[in-house]
């Protein structure tokens, strides 16, 4: 099976990223995985997978990898922005400007830089699809995550703004908001004190109306839909995969 599609996935070495890459590879797409942690991508073994170590904060690296992908494959059909960093729950008075800037830079500026490149190449191809990962916390905040939530709110607003801008170019842009998900990141949302006591998954699980943590495969299913032609008339949308946490 070969969809003939070339899709760039950021955060490909992370919990959700690996599941998304596996799903899209299984459907027959070629995947270029970007992550600053190259080691984390080394167990993805597939002739249609290319891993690239990229720090999304480095504009030149981002520009180069999109250019190289387009030169090699002649097309970029999709971009799935999964890379991100958490915030350990902290009262605003204890958040430094440096911490705020770092979270905004990775989560929001990283999305801006990759989308900018993707749109450039998708216009050449005449169509494209972008999925940016936000967070249910934008709709349903937890205390102490103000910087993280601001960064994900920016992702949502930016995606909607970009969706209207690039609709005439047949490029779709959607946001996927996960709820508490069973990955390494989950424990990183707890305060430093809570983290010392170890991750209590039950607390997160109990906050989900459907009573379970979101699994990386749940995210992969939703991404698969959003990059497929089955969602051809869906753009500027926010899809919650959160077990009802946002309600």
Ligand X SMILES: NC(=O)c1ccc[n+]([C@@H]2O[C@H](COP(=O)([O-])OP(=O)(O)OC[C@H]3O[C@@H](n4cnc5c(N)ncnc54)[C@H](O)[C@@H]3O)[C@@H](O)[C@H]2O)c1
CB 12 within 8 A of CB 21: yes
Among 7, 15, 115, 166, binds ligand X (CB under 6 A): 15
Q: If you compute the radius of gyration of the chain from its CA atoms, what whole number of angstroms results?
A: 17
Query: Which 41-70 positions form the footprint of ligand X (CB under 6 A)?
Result: 54-57
Least separation in angstroms between CB 44 and ligand X: 12
For position 78 contacting ligand X by CB under 6 A, the verdict is: no
Classify residue 107 by its DSSP letter. I
For position 173 contacting ligand X by CB under 6 A, the verdict is: no
Least separation in angstroms between CB 131 and ligand X: 11
Choice among 49, 70, 121, 148 that is catalytic: 148
148 is catalytic: yes
- Enumerate residues 6+ apart whose C-beta is below 8 A from 225: 231
Quick note: the x/- pattern for ligand X over 184-223, rule CB under 6 A, is xxx-------------------------------------
Least separation in angstroms between CB 182 and ligand X: 8
| Cα within 13 Å of Cα(40), Cβ side | 20
CA end-to-end distance (rounded Å), the chain? 39
Q: Under DSSP, is residue 209 helix (H, G, I), strand (E, B) or coil?
A: coil
Among 7, 31, 89, 106, binds ligand X (CB under 6 A): 106
What is Dmax (Cα atoms) for the chain? 54
For position 144 contacting ligand X by CB under 6 A, the verdict is: no
By the 10 Å C-beta count (0-12 exposed, 13-18 middle, 19+ buried), 141 is classed as middle
CB 113 within 8 A of CB 62: yes
Among 24, 40, 119, 154, binds ligand X (CB under 6 A): 40
Least separation in angstroms between CB 170 and ligand X: 26
Q: Under DSSP, is residue 174 helix (H, G, I), strand (E, B) or coil?
A: strand
Active-site residues, by number, are 148
Residues at the interface with ligand X (CB under 6 A) = 11, 13-17, 35-37, 40, 54-57, 82-85, 106, 110, 133, 135, 178, 180-181, 183-186
């Amino acid at each position: 099976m070969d969809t003939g599609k070339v899709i760039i996935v950021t955060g490909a070495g992370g919990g959700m990223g690996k599941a998304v890459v596996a799903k899209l590879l299984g459907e027959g797409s070629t995947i270029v995985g970007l992550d600053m942690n190259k080691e984390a991508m080394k167990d993805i073994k597939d002739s249609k997978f290319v891993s690239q170590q990229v720090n999304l904060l480095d504009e030149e690296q981002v520009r180069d990898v999109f250019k190289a992908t387009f030169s090699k494959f002649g097309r970029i059909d999709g971009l799935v922005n999964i890379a991100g960093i958490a915030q350990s729950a902290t009262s605003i008075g204890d958040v430094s400007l440096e911490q705020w800037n770092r979270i905004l830079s990775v989560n929001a500026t990283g999305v801006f830089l990759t989308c900018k490149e993707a749109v450039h190449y998708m216009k050449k191809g005449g169509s494209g699809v972008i999925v940016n990962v936000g967070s249910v916390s934008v709709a349903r905040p937890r205390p102490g995550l103000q910087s993280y939530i601001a960064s994900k709110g920016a992702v949502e607003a930016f995606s909607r703004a970009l969706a209207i801008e690039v609709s005439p170019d047949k490029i779709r842009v959607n946001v996927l908001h996960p709820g508490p998900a069973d990955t390494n990141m989950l424990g990183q949302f707890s305060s430093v004190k809570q983290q010392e006591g170890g991750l209590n998954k039950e607390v997160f699980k109990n906050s989900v109306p459907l009573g379970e943590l979101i699994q990386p495969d749940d995210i992969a299913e939703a991404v698969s839909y959003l990059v497929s032609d089955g969602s051809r008339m869906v753009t500027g949308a926010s899809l919650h995969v959160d077990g009802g946490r946002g309600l």
